[in-house]
Amino acid sequence: MSGMIGVPVAAVASVFVVLSGTDTATATVVTAPAGRWSAPLDVAPPKIDISVSNVTYDCGNQSPIIISGEDSTVTLNGSCGEADISGDANIVNLQTVSIIKATGGGNHITWVNGPGGSVPHIISAGGSNDIRGPGGIQIPSGRG
């Protein structure tokens, strides 16, 4: 068999294997239908050092997770121990977090849950950080 055959990828793709020159076998690979299952998230590295980017990670077992860089949107899903935002002008979305340290400036940080449903421990030593919880509850800068 010579040449290539173009086949569009659908919910089921077939893979052709050439054996001994002319024999073929077909193996079926099932893929997720578009929009049906979400792709698993990568686990966050200990330091997210990016600028002008948009990333989403799972917290995994990393703690603390340091977010440096500038002008990025970082979303951390799952349960995070500590998030240290040392960069500037970032948007950081935290699903569940125990400690938020905002040492950079001009960051917009939102959180959904603290440990056991309470408010996370928040330290905002940087300037002009906006830290908000569920329902828009704003945490004043400098709380520690």
Model confidence pLDDT, tens digit, residues 30-65: 444 555 555 557 999 999 999 999 999 999 878 999
Residue 115: asked if its preceding bond is cis (omega within 30°), the reply is no
pLDDT(82) > 90: yes
Query: Is 85 part of a structural domain of the chain?
Result: yes
Query: Is 24 part of a structural domain of the chain?
Result: no
Query: Is 103 part of a structural domain of the chain?
Result: yes
Q: Tell me how many domains the chain contains.
A: 1
Query: Is 112 part of a structural domain of the chain?
Result: yes
Could you list the residue range(s) of the whole structural domain that residue 112 is in?
A: 47-139
**pTM attached to this predicted model:** 0.69
- In contact, 76 and 57? CB cutoff 8 Å: yes
How far apart are alpha carbons 96 and 116 in whole angstroms? 10
Identify the pLDDT of residue 135: 76
